[in-house]
Amino acid sequence: MSNDAAVETLHTVDDRSKVVAVLSTAAAFGAGMLAIGDIEFVSIAAAAFGIGVRFASVWAGVRAFVDDDAVTIADQPTAGSFHHGATGVALAAAGATALVGRALSVEVVPIAVAAAAVGVVGFLGLSVLLPD
């Protein structure tokens, strides 16, 4: 695949990941409002979940649709030099942890600590385990 075709594919994956992220954020928000009802808490957790889905879907899309010898996300000048897959999965897991924990009537502070721990430990572990 030429570099131009790979860049075109990256833009397509990026555009489609935005739709996936918005829909997953809306689903997480709706489920959270039905289960929890606290709009401030649910908004933050759903946003973390949606942002995580955005990063993870771009990473997964690039892995699936761009040839291995073409450009990578890290080679893009505006993408940043972090592991997009690890960031996405860790953020989505942290948001999901917060929503599920709060739906199980756990207090806010322990849930915030647990979600932060899931995010940090998840990112550190996944950045080593997942391929670039």
Tokens of 54: 């955005």
Please tell me the pTM assigned to this model: 0.85
pLDDT of residue 52: 97
How many domains are contained in the chain?
1
Segment 106-116 mean pLDDT: 96
Q: Give pairs for 78-86: CB < 8 Å, separation 24+.
A: 82/127, 83/59, 83/123, 83/126, 83/127, 83/130, 83/132, 84/55, 84/56, 84/58, 84/59, 85/55, 85/56, 85/59, 85/60, 85/126, 85/130, 86/122, 86/123, 86/125, 86/126, 86/127, 86/130
41 near 100, Cβ under 8 Å?
Answer: no
Range of lowest pLDDT (8-12, 14-18, 65-69, 75-79): 75-79
Write out the residue range of the structural domain in which residue 21 sits.
Answer: 3-129
Query: From CA 14, how far away is CA 74, in angstroms rounded?
Result: 14
Q: Residue 105 — left, alpha, or beta (φ > 0 → left; ψ -120 to 50 → alpha)? A: left
pLDDT band of 12, cuts 50, 70, 90: confident
pLDDT of residue 72: 57
pLDDT at 81 over 70: no
pLDDT of residue 69: 63
